[in-house]
Amino acid sequence: MWYPMPRTDMADDQQEIADDGARIRANPLLHEIYNDVYARILEELPVDRFPRVLELGSGGGFLRELAPHVITSECVPVRGIARVVDACRLATHFSPGELDAVCAFNVFHHLPDCEGFLRDAQSVLRPGGRIVLIEPWFTPLGQWFYRGLHHEPSILDPDAWTIAGVGRLAGANSRLPTSVFRDSDARFERSFPELRIVERRPFHKWLYLFSGGLKLNTRVPRPLARALVAADRLVHSGDELTGLFARIVVERRLRS
């Protein structure tokens, strides 16, 4: 959850971040989805191999409750957040090779300079370090949620590595992760020679929609919410066709 800095309405953003966190916890299905998303991130970042992990856009979530070693960050000062970080300018905040990993949920598709983020990640990650993202994904059927029902804009040209609109959440391009990490392999390799895409795996067949997201609490009972998320974990048929999100794993290449 990122916006171009600086902004003058910081207090409003701080309140919005706090409100988002409260909505997540009050919505059983959304809360279980967040638990599942964080579990999917941590599966790719075992603490013995990746002890120095930076999370971007931490304000509305609770990853650090599950992984206390994670360095939390936001684009504005927020209570309980360790660092204020410009996600597109990581090299101004961290030294070369200082981090083992960078992770985020629903942040990349809000970045106005995603190339700046990836360029700096090449520097601040140690060789073998990882970027682990959970992002919207344009599967053949899942894309219609973002194109027809979701409020955030989508730029359908895969060569447009940018966002539409301005604001921490209003500035977005729901197709951006798919454009960068699936549909532009040659450009990605040219632009970021020290990075390689390890995984791009769709998941969650419409569960986020059923939860109501941050806008509407559908009040799915907690036991049913857990069962739905567990079933989505077990049943992979249809993920490539209907998934709404993907786990994206990128590694900094080891030096030869």
User: What per-residue confidence (pLDDT) applies to 165?
Assistant: 84
Length of the chain equals 256
Domain span including residue 30? 10-252
Q: Tell me, yes or no, whether 1 lies in a domain.
A: no
What is the per-residue pLDDT across 103-114, written as a single tens digit (0 to 9) for each?
999 999 999 999
Q: Tell me, yes or no, whether 187 lies in a domain.
A: yes
Computed over every residue of the chain, the mean pLDDT equals 91
Domain count, the chain: 1
User: What per-residue confidence (pLDDT) applies to 169?
Assistant: 66
Q: Tell me, yes or no, whether 77 lies in a domain.
A: yes
pTM of the predicted protein model = 0.92
User: What per-residue confidence (pLDDT) applies to 12?
Assistant: 67
Q: Tell me, yes or no, whether 127 lies in a domain.
A: yes
User: What per-residue confidence (pLDDT) applies to 243?
Assistant: 94
Do 210 and 242 touch, CB atoms closer than 8 A? no
Q: Tell me, yes or no, whether 2 lies in a domain.
A: no
Do 43 and 130 touch, CB atoms closer than 8 A? no
**Residue 246 belongs to domain with CATH number:** 3.40.50.150
User: What per-residue confidence (pLDDT) applies to 18?
Assistant: 79
Token representation of residue 152: 């955030």
Report the alpha-carbon distance of residue 78 to residue 14 in Å, rounded.
6
What is the per-residue pLDDT across 3-56, written as a single tens digit (0 to 9) for each?
344 444 666 667 777 788 889 999 999 999 999 999 999 999 999 999 999 999
Report the alpha-carbon distance of residue 197 to residue 189 in Å, rounded.
9
Cβ neighbourhood burial of 200 (10 Å; 0-12, 13-18, 19+): middle
What is the per-residue pLDDT across 229-241, written as a single tens digit (0 to 9) for each?
999 999 999 999 9
What is the pLDDT confidence band of residue 167, given thresholds at 50, 70 and 90?
low
